[in-house]
């Protein structure tokens, strides 16, 4: 496994102070910090190569185009996908909306059933609600149990009772850290309904566990660069090759056309061009590719193992605090089913107050509903405190979190 202390040297922001204290950044599920390798790659692009892609007959245009394609290849390879299968978007939210407008709108019909779950991020729920409303489709939800796992018996029953056209599920829950068994669920779905399609929200999986798109029996997989050490404003939608022919562009304009006449146009044969309308974020792509290379160098297997070390230590420390109530945790604490994040309630103190006191101690966490309002509503949590990890977090930081939680007790005289 890699040495997190050494990894920290690559992240300049980690050496700054907040409120006079060393920063303990535990808000990685919202966005991760960026290593020098990513910052430098973006800076180098603007300092040395900036030019628009494809249209230039000059050296900088060539260099920029080469970097654009090279970065696409690096990112696609990171996810075990062919470059053609990677559609560049701004983030996971846009990727999921792209499935709606480029595929679902044309291939799903009134009365058909979309199956999702109760633990989805709003970005993987609201687009499907809108689609269902617009097309008069049915939207059903796999319940989540109090141990944070999906109710698999209910999943079986939902499949038995309804012909599912589309299954939409997160790989890892951003609130509970639940790692959903998407391989098994997708296989079961496709055995029952061979024409059904599967959309996976990979926003919280891509930063922590190896993802091999080719091997996964899913059709679409959405990711954001900024949660996996890359820059904000760039992300991807992976689309299985065999579906690309029935995937239509929904952004039209320069760069994605073959021929344009006054009243009609045809789209580029090259798939990479067809879905890149307008000037792409080349610097963002270059930065994202640098992030993929960085994670590859650490080794995604090691990244996954290290995350488990942090999650386990956090859960084991927090269960000892009587004032802390972990949410969505299995009785026997099957921690391998939890990735990246741990959320909790603090008895008698609102999550926002906990967050503020932690902040005053230099510990950055997220409080609120984490864009999973239906999940919070279901269990009656007004708001939760979420700590979430990245490769630069350490066991010492987990101890600092615990010490800062003790401060909450002192402030509120509990």
Contacts of 60 (CB under 8 A, 6+ apart): 49, 50, 51
| Closer residue to ligand PLP, CB minimum distance, 170 or 393 | 170
203 binds ligand PLP (CB under 6 A): yes
Q: Measured between alpha carbons, how far is residue 134 from residues 102, 130, 166, 374 in Å?
A: 15, 6, 16, 21
Q: Give me the residue label for tokens 């945790």.
A: 329
Minimum Å gap between C-beta 228 and ligand PLP is 10
Minimum Å gap between C-beta 281 and ligand PLP is 14
| Closer residue to ligand PLP, CB minimum distance, 183 or 192 | 183
Q: Measured between alpha carbons, how far is residue 364 from residues 17, 28, 90, 149, 369 in Å?
A: 12, 9, 25, 27, 16
102, 170, 180, 276: residue in contact with ligand PLP (rule CB under 6 A): 170
Are residues 175 and 370 in contact, defined by beta-carbon separation less than 8 angstroms? yes
208 binds ligand PLP (CB under 6 A): no
Q: Give me the residue label for tokens 């344009």.
A: 260
371 catalytic per annotation: yes
Alpha-carbon span 295 to 7, nearest angstrom:
11
71, 74, 204, 390: residue in contact with ligand PLP (rule CB under 6 A): 204
| Closer residue to ligand PLP, CB minimum distance, 72 or 171 | 171
Residues 21-50 that bind ligand PLP (CB under 6 A): 29
Residues 295-334 that bind ligand PLP (CB under 6 A): none
Residues 380-409 that bind ligand PLP (CB under 6 A): none
Q: 142 forms bridges with which residues in the sheet?
A: 117
Alpha-carbon span 182 to 211, nearest angstrom:
11
Minimum Å gap between C-beta 207 and ligand PLP is 10
Q: Where are the alpha helices (DSSP H) in 209-350?
A: 271-274, 282-298, 300-318
How many Å from the N-terminal Cα to the C-terminal Cα in the chain?
40
| Closer residue to ligand PLP, CB minimum distance, 236 or 280 | 236
Alpha-carbon span 205 to 146, nearest angstrom:
21
34, 49, 72, 121: residue in contact with ligand PLP (rule CB under 6 A): 121
Question: What are the counts of helices (DSSP H) followed by strands (DSSP E) for the chain?
Answer: 14, 17
**86, 150, 371, 405: which one is catalytic?**
371
Minimum Å gap between C-beta 90 and ligand PLP is 7
| Closer residue to ligand PLP, CB minimum distance, 341 or 391 | 341
33, 97, 123, 308: residue in contact with ligand PLP (rule CB under 6 A): 123
28, 64, 74, 93: residue in contact with ligand PLP (rule CB under 6 A): 93
Residues 247-306 that bind ligand PLP (CB under 6 A): none
Minimum Å gap between C-beta 117 and ligand PLP is 11
Minimum Å gap between C-beta 233 and ligand PLP is 9
28, 91, 98, 180: residue in contact with ligand PLP (rule CB under 6 A): 91
Burial (0-12, 13-18, 19+ Cβ within 10 Å), 197: buried
117 binds ligand PLP (CB under 6 A): no
Closest C-alpha to 327, from 397, 380, 398: 380
Minimum Å gap between C-beta 87 and ligand PLP is 14
Helix, strand and coil percent figures for the chain, each rounded to 5 = 45, 20, 40
Burial (0-12, 13-18, 19+ Cβ within 10 Å), 393: buried
Residues 212-231 that bind ligand PLP (CB under 6 A): 224
201 binds ligand PLP (CB under 6 A): yes
Alpha-carbon span 172 to 354, nearest angstrom:
25
User: Which residues does the annotation mark as catalytic?
Assistant: 371
Enumerate binding residues for ligand PLP (CB under 6 A).
29, 91-93, 121, 123-124, 170, 174, 201, 203-204, 224
């Amino acid at each position: 496994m890699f040495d997190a202390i050494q990894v920290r040297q690559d992240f300049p922001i980690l050496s700054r102070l907040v409120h006079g204290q060393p920063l303990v950044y535990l808000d990685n599920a919202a966005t991760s910090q960026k290593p020098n390798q990513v910052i430098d790659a973006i800076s180098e692009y603007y300092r040395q190569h900036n030019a628009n892609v494809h249209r230039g007959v000059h050296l900088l245009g060539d260099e920029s185009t080469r970097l654009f394609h090279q970065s696409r290849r690096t990112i696609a390879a990171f996810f075990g996908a062919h470059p053609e299968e990677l559609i560049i978007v701004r983030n996971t939210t846009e990727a999921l909306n792209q499935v709606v407008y480029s595929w679902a709108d044309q291939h799903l019909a009134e009365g058909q059933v979309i199956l999702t779950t109760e633990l989805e991020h709003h970005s993987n729920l609201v687009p499907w609600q809108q689609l269902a409303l617009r097309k008069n489709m049915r939207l059903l939800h796999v319940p989540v149990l109090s141990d944070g796992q999906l109710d698999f018996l209910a999943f079986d029953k939902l499949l038995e009772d309804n012909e599912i056209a589309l299954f939409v599920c997160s790989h890892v829950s951003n609130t509970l850290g639940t790692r959903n068994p998407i391989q098994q669920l997708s296989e079961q779905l496709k055995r029952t309904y061979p024409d059904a399609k599967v959309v996976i929200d990979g926003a919280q999986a891509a930063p922590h566990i190896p993802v091999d798109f080719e091997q996964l029996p899913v059709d679409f997989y959405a990711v954001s660069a900024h949660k996996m050490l890359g820059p904000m404003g760039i992300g991807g939608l992976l689309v299985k090759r065999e579906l690309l022919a029935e995937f239509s562009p929904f952004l039209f304009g320069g760069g994605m056309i073959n021929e344009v006449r006054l009243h009609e146009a045809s789209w580029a044969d090259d798939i990479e061009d067809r879905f890149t309308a307008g000037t792409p974020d080349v610097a963002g792509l270059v930065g994202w590719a640098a992030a993929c290379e960085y994670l590859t160098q650490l080794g995604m297997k090691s990244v996954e193992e290290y995350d488990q070390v942090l999650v386990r230590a956090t859960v084991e420390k927090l269960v000892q605090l009587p004032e802390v109530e972990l949410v969505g945790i299995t009785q026997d604490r099957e921690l391998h089913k939890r990735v990246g994040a741990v959320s909790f309630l603090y008895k008698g103190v609102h999550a926002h107050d906990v967050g503020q006191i932690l902040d005053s101690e230099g510990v950055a966490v997220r409080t609120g509903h984490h864009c999973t309002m239906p999940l919070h509503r279901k269990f009656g949590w007004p708001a939760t405190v979420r700590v979430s990890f990245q490769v630069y977090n350490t066991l010492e930081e987990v101890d600092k979190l615990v010490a800062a939680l003790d401060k909450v007790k002192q402030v509120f005289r509990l």
